[in-house]
Structure 1
Amino acid sequence: MMASLLVMIGGFFGAICRYAVSRWAARRSPRFPLGTLIVNLLGSFLLGWLAGSGAADAEKLLVGTGFMGAFTTFSTFKWESVQMMQQRQWAKVVVYLAATYSCGVWLAWLGYRVGR
């Protein structure tokens, strides 16, 4: 019961933060999914940091599973990629995919190193 409550609380705040970042980014970059890129890259770093920090199980549930689970988004990332492909925006989709995957892995590694 406590584990579910921690995930729920983390998810609540993660979803609110994701929404805020997405709204902020949409005003600055209406033609590129900057909000999704930011939350996924920041989430990669923070999840790496959490993994490297030796956090307690409760913290991992609250921040890792709850907050990060709601803050980051794999499905929106994929859908935005498909939309760019359908619109034949090849340069944008290549930059988006490359930045998300390569920078995401690098930031997760960096976060892990910082956490240790």
Structure 2
Amino acid sequence: MSFLLVGLGAGLGALCRYLVTQIISFVYKGIFPLATFIVNMVGSYAMAAYLLQKPDETQLLLVVIGFFGGLTTFSTFSLESFKLLKQKELYTFIYYISMSYVVGVLLATIVHVL
């Protein structure tokens, strides 16, 4: 049963990530990987906030591991970072890496402070 919960959550999270990517790509044409940045930052904040609610095991599997795992993406973050380096977009690369880590940790921390 746990495999099904994680799989269902991950599928829904991946679909949400895809929709956000499509919407952002339609509106924003810049070099900065905005769609991945947004889903990862929303995921950082939302996961931390959700964990404060002390979810039961079913919720943990479906929402935290499944949905937020499917929504956020380290592999795309890594690939986009590599592409920026390959395109010699050093400042954008540094900004993307820095902002992703700093803002991600800051958002997860804010949940615990508020």
Deviation readout 1:19-54 (Å, 9 max, x if unpaired): 000111112222221110000000000111122111
Deviation readout 1:72-109 (Å, 9 max, x if unpaired): 00010011001101111112111111110000001112
User: What secondary structure, in the 3-state scheme, does the structure 2 residue paired with 1:38 have?
Assistant: helix
Corresponding letter in the other structure for 1:63: V
Alignment of 1:1-116 (within 5 A): 2-30=1-29, 31-113=31-113
CA distance in 1, matches of 2:27, 2:90: 21
CA distance in 2, matches of 1:55, 1:113: 19
CA distance in 2, matches of 1:81, 1:27: 21
Q: Which ranges in structure 1 are unaligned for 5 or more consecutive residues? A: none
Q: Which ranges in structure 2 are unaligned for 5 or more consecutive residues? A: none
Corresponding letter in the other structure for 2:60: K
CA distance in 1, matches of 2:112, 2:54: 10
Q: If the length of structure 1 is used for normalisation, what is the TM-score?
A: 0.91
CA distance in 1, matches of 2:40, 2:57: 23
CA distance in 2, matches of 1:97, 1:54: 30
What is the aligned residue count?
113
CA distance in 1, matches of 2:83, 2:27: 20
Quote the RMSD (CA, aligned, Å). 1.2
Which deviates further from its counterpart, 69-78 or 25-34? 25-34
Instruction: Tell me the CA shift for residue 4 of structure 1.
Output: 1.2
Identity of aligned residues (%): 36
Corresponding letter in the other structure for 2:40: N
Q: 4+ residue stretches of structure 1 with deviation over 4 A?
A: none
CA distance in 2, matches of 1:53, 1:62: 14
